Structure 1
Amino acid sequence: MTLEEVVGSNSTEKRMETVTQALEELLVAARQKDGLTLGVYESAKLMNVDPDSVVLCVLATDEEDEDDIALQIHFTLLQAFCCDNDINILRAESVRMTRLARVLEQDAEEGNGNEPRDLHCILVTSPPAQPLQCPALENIGSFCEESRCRNTWVPCLALQDR
């Protein structure tokens, strides 16, 4: 391994940590402003009705979901819709849903009946009348733009378990 490879991989790791922290900050800020939509079906409904208010789509999976074909099909459709409507997308892979629930201060079991809460798709919305002012959103937006310039249309992150 050359020095350039070591330095390059270290800066990439730091950039990913920065973007991961920005994502957590953005989710907290959006939750406080009631700017989150949770769940695959709820997200699809919102994007169908008001795609202009959506500024970020986060698709999250854990190890158990890797082989869930239906979920992967939903993700593919959501990604296509986001690309068609210029909505930034992040993929959070190998995420522990309990970690994501803690960031969102949600009870992972707080769904309908005995169903666990669906945190596989999270939309961050920012209505034009009251736009979400958050440096984390700008950081994530520039990260997504940089990724598209490198032909990575759906960049992947890993939320750190703390």
Structure 2
Amino acid sequence: MYDESVVPVKMESFSGVAAKSPISQCIKTVLGRARVEKRLTIGLLPAIQYLSKNTNGALFCLTAAAPPGDSATHMQEVLLQAFCAENDIYVIKVDSEQKLKKLLGFSETRMDFSCILVHYPYTDPFSDSQEFDTSVLSEAENDLIEHCETNWDYAQMPVIKLPEK
């Protein structure tokens, strides 16, 4: 029986090994690693600013729904999601900005967590190549990519219910 807090998804990683954890746990793992490695851009406006200068550096864009009645933020999110899709950045919708804050250890801040960009892991900083070495991706990042690829063509993206802690 599946835990009701996650969207049940059967998937495989790129290595062909079945994913070991639900998507919400993959997100938690990816965010934790990216935070330690300083590969996050947090907030809707910082994300837009980052992407306006660097369309190739982001791997995932996690978004939480705008508060009801905030049509300006909703329009910015829709445009950001369209931009990400056009530039092959995986968009992942999550159920709560508050849960994103808690997962990253910022429960007491007033920062905007409606959007979080996860950048590619650092590769050779002296290389002139614009290609990223996907062999440095973690198992959780590969599982999350596979989840996104599976859901890429759906008209409505599934909303991932994040763990409380």
TM-score (norm 1): 0.77
Task: Kindly report which structure 2 residues correspond to 1:34-45, keeping only aligned pairs within 5 A, or say none.
Answer: 34-45=38-49
Moved more, 18-27 or 125-134: 125-134
Larger helix share, 1 or 2: 1
Deviation at 1:143, TM superposition (A): 0.5
2:70 matched residue in structure 1: 68
Deviation at 1:88, TM superposition (A): 0.3
* SS of corresponding position for 1:72: helix
1:156 matched residue in structure 2: 159
**Distance in 1 separating the partners of 2:90 and 2:48:** 15
Tell me how many residue pairs correspond in the alignment. Answer: 144
What is the root-mean-square deviation in Å for CA atoms of aligned residues?
Answer: 2.7
Code of the aligned partner of 1:28: G
TM-score (norm 2): 0.76
2:117 matched residue in structure 1: 123
Note the residue ranges of structure 2 that are not aligned, 5 or more in a row: 11-20, 125-132
1:141 matched residue in structure 2: 145
Note the residue ranges of structure 1 that are not aligned, 5 or more in a row: 1-6, 110-115
Mapped contact 1:37–1:124 kept (Cα < 8 A): yes
* SS of corresponding position for 1:37: strand
**Distance in 2 separating the partners of 1:67 and 1:140:** 31
Shift in CA distance, 51/108, structure 1 to aligned 2, threshold 3 Å: farther
* SS of corresponding position for 1:47: helix
Shift in CA distance, 126/137, structure 1 to aligned 2, threshold 3 Å: same
1:112 matched residue in structure 2: none
Q: Identity of counterpart residues, as a percentage?
A: 23
Code of the aligned partner of 1:83: A
